[in-house]
Amino acid sequence: MILFLFILILVAGAFLAWLSAVVNKELPRWIALLVLLFELTIAAGIWWQLDEAHRWSSSQWLYTFQQPWMPRFGISFSLAMDGLSLLMLVLTFFLGTLSVLVSWNEIKEKTGFFHFNLLFVLAGITGVFLTMDLFLFYFFWEVMLIPMYFLIGIWGHGNRVYAAFKFFIFTQAGGLLMLLSILGLYFVHAHNAGAYTFSYFDLLNTPMAVETGRWLMLGFLVAFIVKLPAVPFHTWLPDAHTEAPTAGSVVLAGLLLKTGAYGILRFVIPLFPEASHYFAPGVMLIGAIGILYGGKLAYAQTDFKRLVAYTSVSHMGFVLLGAFAFNALAYQGVVMQMITHGISTGALFMIAGSLYERLHTRELGKMGGLWPALPGMGVVTMIFVMASLGLPGLGNFVAEFLILAGSWQAQPWITALATVGLVIATIYSLRIMQKVFFGTSMREYKLPDLSIREGLMLIPLIAAIIWLGLYPQPVIDAVKPGIPLSFQTTTHHQQDVVIHPPK
């Protein structure tokens, strides 16, 4: 029931926020903030009590919720939560809360509808992270899309309509392929196992021909790597991120991209183990290329938000690399990367937003020499720039190290290629600091340093990224029960342990 409430409260909050704007334009902010803080508290509470929860739940699943919906077609309203979904929910509500705060001064128009969309997109994301019915999954997948389209299209910057369309079409095209695959899997299961069902648990281990499995897997995979995004499907992302309002960028980079990663971990690999192993080297290569190509493009950008957007392409390449390495180190690294990337990139977008509020530009060429005026913001930016280049002691390092160490065991050459990305990350990350804060300023800026609201947003992010860098064990422990059994060999120093795909 608690799982259903997570979604229901968000949806109810969304409508309430919309309606409340009639009374007072500031009211939707407070409603959204309270709703998200409430959900964050609950989710964090569950995480805090994780050992307790695992004690009375023998499997990886902590909570489940099931209601028949359209039993004739085998569709049910089925939700379940394990460590992975729990972590994703905590991240969702954490970044969601910050998105409300970040919009406090930025969004002045149609506050009611804005917060309706914000809460609704978060509800969709929550649904995606919780649902265990493929039909319902597709439903939530689409629910995320439409409010996001409005967020970009209404409150975005100059070229917002183009960006919103592009985002919509890319995601929709990928989504349709996934729908085909879902239906294909549905009928294949009915044909081979004799029951029509969309239930994730029933569809696991569906017997099917090797060829069929590969085609169906590709349908899912394309949807997820468009969302992730991987090269060459990444071109919607820089436009969408750049044109979206700050909150939109934070939700896009921090959460929407993670639904792609989540989909790969939750659906692609468990549903199609054989096909996943078959395609693994190719997919890992795409990941490595994404790391390098995204980094190179990030270096070339002159627009702060666009630069950060391309770093996402680079960082999400690590997810693809690690997910298809099929071992526990890399799997843990991937989940870690999903969380830390959400935090560090979210923070960089917030900083971009704060700078835009002060300077009314995103052009790096028009910044420079801001350190004397904004020392506080400089220190904060330095921390997240360092996180983005993978400095040890910050969360992103743990993620990247685990991914690379894990994928090295599967594909040393591709991993070596990906490791070069660490150098490129250094190059583009340091460029941010140089262009924004160092050098001489063209004008004598008299700008206010971090406000209390900005401090309230950024300090939790700093605390989180340092905590994840120095003590990531709570995340690792939460993820552990959900790692597929065949992944459990972390290191094979006996040399001859080869992971065979389950037949």
Partner 1 sequence: MQWIYLIPALPFLGALILVLFSRAIGKTGVSLIGCGSVGIAALITLIAGGQFIGGGWQQFTLPLWNWLSIGDFNIGITLHLDALSLAFTFVITFVGFLIHLYSTGYMADDPDYARFFACMNLFVGSMLMLVLADNLLLLYLGWEGVGLCSYLLIGFWYKDPANGAAARKAFIVTRVGDTAMAIALFLLVQHTGSLQLSTILARATQLWAQGDPTVTLIAFLLLGGAVGKSAQLPLQTWLPDAMAGPTPVSALIHAATMVTAGVYLIARTNILFILAPAAQATVAIVGAVTLILAGCSAFVQTDIKRVLAYSTISQIGYMFLALGVGAWSAAVFHFITHAFFKALLFMGAGAVIVALHHEQDMFRMGGLRKSLPGVFWVFLTGAASLVAIPFISAGFYSKDQIVWLAWSSANGNIGYWLVAIIGAFITAMYTFRMVFLVFFGEEKTHVHHPPGRSMMIPLYILAVCSTFAGFIELPHTLGHITMLSDLLRPVLPSVPLQFESTGLEWVSQGVAALLSFLGIYIIWRSLYIPFPVGLKEFWKNGWGFDMAYDRIFVRPFVLLARWNRRDMVDKLYTGLAGLTRSFHRAMSATQSGVLRWYIMGIVMGAVLILSVIIWRQYVV
Residues that bind partner 1 (CB under 8 A): 166, 231-232, 234-235, 238, 296-297, 299-302, 328-329, 332, 369, 371, 379, 386, 391-393, 397-398, 401-402, 404-405, 408-409, 412, 415-416, 419-420, 422-423, 426-427, 430-431, 434, 437-440, 470-473, 476, 480, 488-493, 495
Q: Which residue has the tokens 């992010």?
A: 461
Report the residue number, 95 or 231, with the smaller CB distance to partner 1.
231
φ/ψ of residue 77, rounded to 5: -85, 90
For residue 492, the minimal CB distance to partner 1 (Å) is: 7
Question: What sign results for the dihedral spanned by CA atoms 270, 329, 48, 117?
Answer: negative
What angle do the packed helices 160-193 and 134-155 form, to 10 degrees?
Answer: 180
Q: Strand locations in 322-432, DSSP E?
A: none
Report the residue number, 49 or 434, with the smaller CB distance to partner 1.
434
For residue 478, the minimal CB distance to partner 1 (Å) is: 13
- The per-residue b/e assignment along 56-84, b for 16 or more CB within 10 angstroms, e otherwise, is eeeebbbbbbeeebeeeebbbbbbbbbbb
Q: Strand locations in 71-116, DSSP E?
A: 75-81
Say if strands 63-70 and 75-81 run parallel, antiparallel, or are unpaired: antiparallel
Report the residue number, 143 or 280, with the smaller CB distance to partner 1.
280
For residue 408, the minimal CB distance to partner 1 (Å) is: 4
Q: Which residue has the tokens 């902010």?
A: 29
φ/ψ of residue 247, rounded to 5: -60, -40
For residue 458, the minimal CB distance to partner 1 (Å) is: 14
- In whole angstroms, what is the distance from residue 391 CA to residue 346 CA? 17
- In whole angstroms, what is the distance from residue 503 CA to residue 51 CA? 33
Contact between 50 and 17 (Cβ < 8 Å): no
- In whole angstroms, what is the distance from residue 473 CA to residue 395 CA? 11
Report the residue number, 27 or 309, with the smaller CB distance to partner 1.
309
Contact between 216 and 188 (Cβ < 8 Å): yes
Contact between 335 and 84 (Cβ < 8 Å): yes
For residue 454, the minimal CB distance to partner 1 (Å) is: 17
For residue 180, the minimal CB distance to partner 1 (Å) is: 20
For residue 389, the minimal CB distance to partner 1 (Å) is: 8
Report the residue number, 13 or 238, with the smaller CB distance to partner 1.
238
Report the residue number, 131 or 411, with the smaller CB distance to partner 1.
411
CB atoms within 10 A of CB 23: 10
Report the residue number, 121 or 389, with the smaller CB distance to partner 1.
389
Report the residue number, 309 or 355, with the smaller CB distance to partner 1.
309
Report the residue number, 60 or 419, with the smaller CB distance to partner 1.
419
For residue 33, the minimal CB distance to partner 1 (Å) is: 27
For residue 430, the minimal CB distance to partner 1 (Å) is: 5
- The per-residue b/e assignment along 177-199, b for 16 or more CB within 10 angstroms, e otherwise, is bbbebbbebbebbeeeeeebbbb
